[in-house]
Structure 1
Amino acid sequence: MTTEISFKEVIEAIAECAFKTSPYPILLSFENHVDSPKQQAKMAEYCKQIFGDGLLTEPLERNPLEPGVPLPSPMELKYKILVKNKKKSHKSADGSGKKKLAEQASNACSDSSSVFEPSSPGAGEADIESEEDDDDDDDDCKKSSMDEGTAGNEASATEEMSNLVNYIQPVKFESFETSKKRNKSYEMSSFVETKGLEQLTKSPVEFVEYNKMQLSRIYPKGTRVDSSNYMPQVFWNAGCQMVALNFQTIDFPMQLNMGMYEYNGKCGYRLKPEFMRRPDKHFDPFTETTVDGIVANTLSVKIISGQFLSDKKVGTYVEVDMFGLPVDTRRKAFKTKTSQGNAVNPVWEEEPIVFKKVVLPSLACLRISAYEEGGKFIGHRILPVSAIRPGFHYICLRNEKNVPLTLPAIFVYIEVKDYVPDTFADVIEALSNPIKYVNLMEQRSRQLAALTLEDEEEIKKEAEAGDAPSENNSEPRPTPAENGLNHASTLTPKPASQAVHSQPPPGSVKAPAKTAPAEDLILSVLTEVESQTTEK
C-alpha cells in the first residue's frame, strides 16, 4: 500500500525516467479501480499527451493482432511504452439484451462462465474478455480470493482506455490446451504465485511451452501483508517473462532478482536459453539429467582470503550458495571456518567447494556472502554461472541494495569446466593436456621397467653361465684368466683357415698377473688380441 498520489504525477515521472538506462520497451500494468467513464477517459488522455509518440497504440505491420503471429521482439519495440489494461468487449449494442434472453432460455445451466470454442476470433475475444471482467465473481474459495488480492476487483474498461491496449491484452487463464488452440500471442494471463506454483507442479512442460508463445505474469499473493517476496527463480525456470516482486522490500528474493538482471547492464531483459524458445525443443524444469544440446558445467570455488571485511575486531566467515534448477540449487553449500578476531585480512586454507554437475548454467547463479561471527550480514555478490570465468578473482561485495561497497572483497580461485562423467575423466584429461599425459605414460613405463629389467638380468646371467663351459670343452682356447698360466703349448695345432677365425696365437694374449675370479671369464675372452697373418 502507498499514500495517495495523482495518476498524472505517476505518468509524468515514468515519462521522465523511462529510457534513461535502457532503450527497450516499458510495459505498464494498470490495476484500474476507476468506475467513472469520464475519469478513465481523462486517464487515457494523460497517457497520450505525456507519453506522446512513445505510446504504442497500434500494432506493427509485421506483427498484426492475428492468431499464429508471434509478438515483436524488444529490439523492434525500442523506446515504446505498452499498456496492459482490461479491454472493452466489442459486442453489439443489443448484446446485453440477447444475453438476457439466452439466460432465460437456458435456466438449467447455472454456470454463466462456461467457455465455448469461438466461431470467429472476434467472438472468442469478447467471450474471454467478459470472463476476465467477472474474474472474482466466479471464485468460490475465500483463500483464493485473498491470495489474488484486489486485482480481480478492477473496473470495466471504457473505449478510451481499451484503445491504448494492443499487444498485452489480459485474459482469464483457462488451460494450456485452450491457449494452444486459440494461438493468440497478444493475449496474456496473470497468475498469483500460488496458482503459478500449482500449474508449474501439475504441468511443468506445458507451462514452458505456453511461455514460448505468450506472456505470463506472476505476482505476490495478497496475504503477504509485510510485502515480502517469493523466490523468482522458480518461475524463471519455467520461462515466465514478468515475474513481479515487491520492490519496496529488499529481501533475498529481491537481491537475487537484482543480481540476475545486472549481468547485461540492467536493461531489464534477459534472453531465455535457446531450447526454451525453439518450438521443436521440450524442457522439463524439474529434470535431473543433462538437457539436450546443453553442456553441463563443473564449478570449483576456493575461498582464499578476505580484505577489509569489517573495521571491528570480530571473526568473519564466508558462505557459498547455488541457485538454479531444483537439481542445481544448493543452499548454504559451503561455509568457511570463522576467522579468530581478524576481519581485515582473514585467510582460509580450506578445500574448495565443488559443484560437480550444474545441469543448466544459463539459469544458475552463484552467491558468495560474508558475515560476522554473530551472523550479521557484511556483503555479498550474485554472479550468473554463465558469466563466470576461471582463474583468480577479487570479488567486490555489495550491500543489501546491490550497491558496491568501497573496500570489502573476497579473493577466490575459480575453475569452470565442462562436466565429464567419471568413466570418461581419464580420456578427457589426456585430450586436454597431452604433454602431461605423455609424461605420465613415460613415468609408468620406467616404473614397470624397474621391475622387468631385474628379471631380464637374472635370465641373462643364467644363460651366460650355462654357455661358458660348453665353449671351453668344444673349442679350447688360451684363457689367461685361469690360474694365470700360459696354455699355448698344450693346444692342438689348427689349419690356417681355422686360425683366422679363432685367432688364438700362442704368446699374443696379455695374461693378467694374478688369478682372476670365475666371473671375469667374459672379460678375459674380450681382451685385446694382436692381429696375425695367415703364414703365422
Structure 2
Amino acid sequence: MAGAKPGVHALQLKPVAVHEELKKGGKFVKWDEVRMKCLKVSFRANDVEILDISYIRDTRTGKYAKQPKDAKVKEVLGLTKEVNGEGKLLTVVYGNDLVNVSFLNFQAMQEDVAKIWTDELFALSTNILSQNVSRNTFLYKAYTKLKLQVNQEGKIPVKNVIKMFSDKKRVETALEQCGLINNKDALAIVLGFLVKLLRTCYTLGLLFCLCSSGSKRKPFISLDQLMDFINRRQRDSRLNEVLYPPLKRDQVRQIMEKYETNTSQLERDQISLQAFSRYLGGEENTIVPPERLDIIDDMNQPLSHYFINSSHNTYLTVGQLTGNSSVEMYRQVLLTGCRCIELDCWKGRPQDEEPYITHGFTMTTEIPFKEVIEAIAESAFKTSPYPVILSFENHVDSAKQQAKMAEYCRTIFGDALLIEPLEKYPLSEGQLLPSPQELMGKILIKNKKKHHHHRPSESGSIRRKEPGEQSSPHNGKVLCNVAALWISGICLPQGTASSEANATEEMSNLVNYIEPVKFKTFEWARKRFFEMSSFVETKGMDALKSFPIEFVEYNKNQLSRIYPKGTRVDSSNYMPQLFWNVGCQMVALNFQTLDLPMQLNMGVFEYNGLSGYLLKPEFMRRTDKHFDPFTENIVDGIVANTVKIKVISGQFLTDKKVGVYVEVDIFGLPADTKRKYRTKTSNGNSLDPVWDDEMFVFNKVVLPTLASLRIAEINTLGYHYINLKNELNQPLMLPSLLVYTEAQDYIPNEHQGNDTMQASLWINMSHKQAKNKLHPQTFEAFLFSSLCKNYFVVRLAKMEMTSLQQYLRWFVCLSDVKVQSVEELQQNKHYEKLLKKQRKELKELRKKHLKKVRTDGFNYRNYPCLDLLSVCHCVCREKKELQKILDRKRLNSISEAKNREKDKAESELNEINRKHIQDSVSLIRGLEEAQTRRDDKLLQRHRDVLQRIDEELPQVSKRSETKKVGSAKNLQLVQS
C-alpha cells in the first residue's frame, strides 16, 4: 500500500523497555465509584486480576483522568475543595473494541509517580514492536501469565492451566509426561511443562516443515539441510544476491547455537525438532519485517500524495438513527491513528447557546462541542505526530455561536491550530499542498468558507442553504422518486450535508488548505489544489466506473473524501480498497463497526509507524504517468506477482470444541484473479487442527504494492507462524497459524515453460543482426531480427508469447506481400465506405430504439405518479376554496344578524357558528372520501400499468434482439 524510500532502512522503532519506577513498583489506591469503595493495590492478593497490556487503549492523569463524584470516595481519597489532588489520579482505559471501553481508576501517593506510570504504561501498550513480536515471545507471555496466578503456597492451580488451554485431556497428558499426574490440584510449574504441552500441539505441523527441509522424517536436521532450507524456502528468490546475499555456513551455525540447547546435537552439526520449532517461532521468521512497521515512507511529499486514515460520524457508538453519541469515541478513534475525524455541529438551545454535536434529524443523543474539542486537544498527537484534519459539517445558523466555536478552537488548540497558510505554500492556483512533515503537530479545519457574496443577515442569524436550492440535472428523476416514496408511505432518512449553514468570518479564518467545495467536473477542479470535494460512496463509485483515469489524475494534486451512503443506518461499511485504487485520500469509515472493511483499514494503516499516512505508489503521484485501475496489463513496469499460500496447521484457534476453517482473502485491483480461498473444516478440533489442502494460488496480482491479504500482508516468504489478531487489530496471545508462503513473477498459463525458448530466440536473432550488419545483401535477415525483437517486447508487455513457428509464419506473411492493382484498391475503398455506412446506420438504429424504450418506460412508470401528485394539489386547492366560501357565508350571516334585534343577535350568532362547523365538517369529509376513491383508482391503474409493463417487457426485449440479429446479418452480408 505504500511507496518506500529507496535504499536500506535503518530501524528507528525502540524495543520494549520497562522503566525502573515500574520495575520497583509503587503504592496505589484503586477506587471504584460504581461500588463506592477504595482498595490498596499490592502484588500479593488472594485473587490476582491480570490485564494484558496490549488491551490498554489509553492512560490519563490530571484533569483528563476520571474524577470521583461521590462524596464518600472523595473523602477517602482526600480530594476536597481546598486540596486539588487530580495530579495524583491515574486512569487506565482498556477494551477490545472502540465503543465498550472500561476504566481502572487509581490514586498514587505522589504526582510525579502518577505521571511516570501514565507515560510509561502508554508507551508500553502502544509499542508497535510489542504488538508484533515473535511466536516464542507470545508463548513466554502465556507462561508468565500462568506464573502470576499462583495460590498461597506459590503453586499454580491446574484449573488455571486448563482454563488457559481449554483442553483438559491435553493438559493431563502433558502433566503425565512431566511426571506431575499425581498432584492434580496444584503443581510447581516450570517452563518444561509448557514445552511438553505445546509440543503435542505443534508436532504435526512441524513434520511437514521437516519434510520440506530434506530431513526425511528424521527427528533432526543437519547444518547443510538447514542452510538449504533457509536459502531456498525462507528467502525470496527474486532478491538481488549482492544486496541480500544467501546465508553462509557460519551464519547458519550461529542460528543453530541460538536455538539448540543440546551440545551433543551441535557437535554433530544437527538441531532437534524442538530447536527447529523454536527457530520457526523466533525473531528471524516474523511474518512482518520490523522495518515495515517503522516510518518508512517519505513524509515530505504533498498532502494529496498520501492515503489518510479517516472516520465518518466519529461521535456515534451504534447506528446512524438511534443510540448514544460519545465524546470518548473521538479519543478512541484518534488513538487508533486516525487523522481525519468528523464533527456534525448544530445550533445550541437559547438557554446557554452552546453548540452541540449530534446526527441531525435522528434520535441520537447530543454531546457538547466544547467537550469534544477538549478531547481532541488531549488525544490528537498521542499516537501519531502528523497533522489531524477536523471535517466540520456545520449546521449552526447563528453568527454568535459560530464565533463561539471558532474561539473554542483557538483557545483550546492554541498553537497546534493552523490558522495562517505556511509562507512557502500560499493559497494560489497551481501551488501544491504542504507535506505531513511540514504540518507535523498541526490541526487543520475543513469547513465551508465565507466568500464575498455570502453575507450574514442584519439580525445576526445566518441563512441556511436548503437542499432544494441546489441545481440538479436529474430533477425529473428526483421528482418521480419522491412521488414513488410518497405513494408507498416510506420516508428514507436524507443526509444533512447539503443543508449546511453559511460560514461566518470567524470560522472562515480557520480554513486554509482544506476548503470543501461542491464537485462539478474534473476539468473545473484543475489547479485549485487547496479545494477538496466529498463524494458519497454511490457518487464516488459512479465516477470510478465512468472516469477512472480522470479520478486518479484528480487525486494526484487534490484531496477527495468518500463517506458511506445514508441508507447504511446500521453503520456498516463499504470496501475502502475500491477507492484506494483510484487514489482517494480520505476514505471515511464507521469506526464503531469492526466489520471486514474496517479490519482491512486497521491492518493497512498499521504500517508506516501507525502514523495514519501511507504514501501512494509512485504512478499515482507522478503527473507524467497515467494509471487505469481496471487495467490487466503491466503497471508502470511493475511485474505482476503470483502469490501461493498453504495453511498447514493452527494452534489454540478457539476455546470451543467445534470444527474450524481458515479463510484467505486478497484485496487489490479488479483485474486480480481469484480473491478468496478457504480450507476444509477441521473435524471438531480447534486446538491444533492440521489441513492437508492444496496450496492456495492467487495466480495474478497486477499491482502487489496496492494489494493486501486478510490474514496478514505477507512480505516474507517461507514457513511462518502468523499470530492472529482480533477485530481491533490487537494481538491474541495463543491463537496462531503455521503457513507456507511463496511469491513469483506472474507468467500466464499459455507461456509456462516457454519463456526460456523465447529468450534464446531473441538472443540468436541479435547475434544474426550483429553479424549481418556489414552486408547489404542480408537486409532481409536483419529486418527479420529487428521485427522479431520489437514484436517480442510488445507481446511480453501484454504477457503473451508465441512459438518459433508462429514467428516464422508471421515473417513469411510480411515478406510475401502481393502488390494490389488500382481496381482492387478502388473496390476496397468502396467496401470500406459501405461498411462504415452500415455501422453508422446500425448505431443510429440502436440509439433510436433505446431512446424509445426509455421514453416508454418513463411514461408508463412516472406519469401515474405525477397524476397522483396533481390530484393531491387539486384536492388541497379545492379544500382551500371551499373553506373560503364557507367563511364568507358565515361572515354574511353574522353581519345580517347584527342588524336585527339585539336580544336575538347572540343566539343567532351561536346558531350560525354551529351550522358553519357542521357544514365544514360534512363537506370536507365528503371531499376526503372522494379523494380516497380517486387515490384507490389511480393506484389500481398504476398497478395495472406496471403489470402490463412486466408482461410486455419480454416480448419487447425479444423483438429488440430479433432486430439486432437482423442488423448483424445485414452487416455480415455487406462484409461478405
Distance in 1 between the 2:679 and 2:664 partners?
Answer: 9
Deviation at 1:269, TM superposition (A): 0.9
Answer 1 or 2: which has greater helix percent. 2
Task: State the distance in 1 between where 2:754 and 2:370 align.
Answer: 67
Summarize the alignment of residues 137-152 of structure 1 with structure 2, pairs less than 5 Å apart: 137-138=469-470, 139=472, 140=475, 141=478, 149-152=495-498
1:253 to 597, 600, 615: 597
Q: How far is 1:87 from its partner?
A: 0.4
One of 340, 346, 350 as aligned partner of 2:693: 350
Q: Is contact 2:537-2:564 (8 Å) kept?
A: yes
Partner of 2:519: 173
Once residues 22 and 136 of structure 1 are traced to their aligned partners in structure 2, the CA distance between those partners, rounded to angstroms, is 41
1:164 to 2:510 alignment:
yes
Match of 1:6 in 2: 368
Q: How does 1:354-433 map to 2 (within 5 A)?
A: 354-368=697-711, 383-384=712-713, 388-421=715-748, 423=751, 425=753
Partner letter of residue 370 of structure 2?
Answer: K
- Residue 185 of structure 1 aligns with an amino acid whose one-letter code is F
Q: Compared with structure 1, are the counterparts of its residues 317 and 67 closer, same or farther at alpha carbon in structure 2 (3 Å cutoff)?
A: same
- How many angstroms apart in 1 are the aligned matches of 2:564 and 2:574? 7
Contact 1:328/1:364 (CA < 8 Å) preserved in 2? no
Aligned-partner Cα distance in 2 for 1:136–1:292: 45
Query: Aligned AA for 2:685?
Result: N
CA-to-partner distance for each residue in 1:400-424, whole Å, 9 max, x for gaps?
2222111110000101222234537
Q: 1:416 to 1:227 in 2, by over 3 A?
A: same
Residues 92 and 82 (structure 1), Cα distance of their counterparts in 2 relative to 1, 3 Å cut: closer
Q: How far apart, CA to CA, are the structure 2 residues paired with 1:238 and 1:86?
A: 25
1:203, distance to aligned residue in structure 2 (A): 0.5
Give runs of aligned pairs for residues 379-528 of structure 1, distance below 5 A. Answer: 383-384=712-713, 388-421=715-748, 423=751, 425=753
| 1:228 alignment counterpart | 572
Decide whether aligned partners of structure 1 residues 321 and 6 sit closer, same or farther in structure 2, where only a CA change above 3 A counts. Answer: same
Can you list the C-alpha shifts for 1:92-143, whole angstroms capped at 9, x where unaligned?
97x99xxxxxxxxxxxxxxxxxxxxxxxxxxxxxxxxxxx956652254377
The SS at the match of 2:627 is coil
Query: 1:311/1:352 Cα in 2 relative to 1: closer, same or farther (>3 Å)?
Result: same
Counterpart Cα distance in 1 of 2:529 and 2:467:
21
Q: Structure 2: which amino acid aligns with 1:169?
A: E
Counterpart for residue 967 of structure 2: none
SS at match of 1:306: strand
Secondary structure of the 1:262 match is coil
Partners of 1:330 and 1:74 lie apart in 2 by 36
Once the two structures are superposed, residues 486-508 of structure 1 have per-residue CA deviations (whole angstroms, 9 ceiling, x without a partner) of xxxxxxxxxxxxxxxxxxxxxxx
Determine if contact 2:674/2:698 at 8 Å carries over to the other structure.
no
Q: Which residue of 2 aligns with 1:205?
A: 549
Contact 1:322 1:329 in 2 (8 A): no
Could you tell me whether the CA contact under 8 Å between 2:454 and 2:502 is conserved in 1?
A: no
1:413-445: per-residue Cα shift (whole Å, max 9, x none)?
1012222345375657999xxxxxxxxxxxxxx
Find the residue that maps to 1:31 and give its secondary structure.
strand
- Bigger Rg, structure 1 or 2: 1
Counterpart of 2:662 in structure 1 is 318
Secondary structure in 2 matching 1:72: coil
Q: Structure 1, residues 209-255: CA drift from partner, whole Å, max 9, x if none?
A: 00001000111111211111111111110100011111111111111
> How far apart are 1:88 and its partner, in Å?
0.5
Q: Which residue number corresponds to residue 194 of structure 2?
A: none
The one-letter code sitting in structure 1 at the alignment partner of 2:707 is A
How far off its partner does 1:312 sit? 2.6
- 1:279 to partner: Cα distance: 0.2
Percent identical: 66
Task: Say which SS state the counterpart of residue 535 (structure 2) adopts.
Answer: strand
Check the 8 A contact 1:309/1:343 in 2, yes or no. yes
Which residue is equivalent to 2:381? 19
Which ranges in structure 2 are unaligned for 5 or more consecutive residues? 1-319, 326-364, 458-463, 483-490, 760-976
Q: What do residues 453-494 of structure 1 show as CA deviations (whole Å, max 9, x unaligned)? A: xxxxxxxxxxxxxxxxxxxxxxxxxxxxxxxxxxxxxxxxxx
Residue 399 of structure 1: how far off its partner (Å): 1.6
Task: Name the CA distance, whole Å, in 2 between partners of 1:257 and 1:27.
Answer: 18
Letter in 1 for 2:393: E
Q: Provide closer, same or farther for how the CA distance between residues 189 and 243 of structure 1 changes in structure 2, counting only shifts above 3 A.
A: same
Per the alignment, residue 613 of structure 2 pairs with 269
1:350 alignment partner AA: D
Match of 1:50 among 412, 419, 424: 412
Instruction: Tell me whether 1:88 sits opposite 2:450 in the alignment.
Output: yes
Give CA-to-partner distance per residue, 1:23-46, whole Å, 9 cap, x none.
110000011111110000000000
Counterpart secondary structure, 1:176: coil
Quote how far apart the aligned CAs of 1:264 are: 2.1
Contact 1:135 1:172 (8 Å CA) reproduced: no
* In structure 2, distance between residues paired with 1:396 and 1:223: 36
Q: Equivalents in 2 of 1:247, 1:426: separation in Å?
A: 49
Quote the residue 2:639 is aligned against: 295
Q: Distance in 2 between matches of 1:59 and 1:47?
A: 17
Q: Structure 1: any 5+ residue segments left out of the alignment?
A: 97-131, 369-382, 432-536
Distance in 1 separating the partners of 2:492 and 2:522:
24
Pick closer, same or farther for the CA change 1:202–1:148 going to 2, 3 Å: farther
Structure 2 distance, partners of 1:219, 1:92, is: 27
Q: For 1:339 and 1:295, locate their aligned partners in 2 and report how far apart those are by CA, in whole Å.
A: 37
Task: State the partner residue of 2:396.
Answer: 34
Look up the equivalent residue of 2:552 and give its one-letter code: V
Work out the CA distance in 1 between the residues paired with 2:380 and 2:757. Answer: 51
- Which residue number in structure 1 is paired with residue 500 of structure 2? 154
Are the aligned partners of 1:88 and 1:158 in contact in 2 as well (CA < 8 Å)? yes
RCO (CA 8 Å, sep 6+): is it higher in 1 or 2? 2
Cα offsets for 1:369-408 (capped at 9, x unmatched)? xxxxxxxxxxxxxx335xx211111111112222211111
1:330 & 1:48 partners in 2: Cα distance? 52
Contact 1:258 1:402 in 2 (8 A): yes
Distance 2:521 2:708 in 1: 32
Instruction: Measure, in 1, the Cα distance between the counterparts of 2:556 and 2:511.
Output: 21
**Taking structure 1 as reference, are residues 300 and 66 closer, same or farther at Cα in structure 2, changes over 3 Å only?**
same
Q: Which amino acid aligns with 1:404?
A: P
Q: Note if 1:279 corresponds to 2:623.
A: yes
Distance 1:253 1:51 in 2: 32
> Which residue type is aligned with residue 266 of structure 1?
L
Distance 1:193 1:355 in 2: 28
Pairwise CA distance, 1:58: 0.9
Which of 680, 684, 689 pairs up with 1:341?
684
Q: In the TM superposition, what is the alpha-carbon distance from 1:328 to its structure 2 partner?
A: 1.9
SS at match of 1:177: coil
CA distance in 2, matches of 1:148, 1:250: 24
1:323·1:329 contact (CA, 8 Å) conserved in 2? no
Shift of 1:90: 2.2
How many angstroms apart in 2 are the aligned matches of 1:33 and 1:278?
Answer: 38
SS at match of 1:270: strand
TM-score under structure 2 length normalisation:
0.37
Partner of 2:394: helix, strand, or coil?
coil
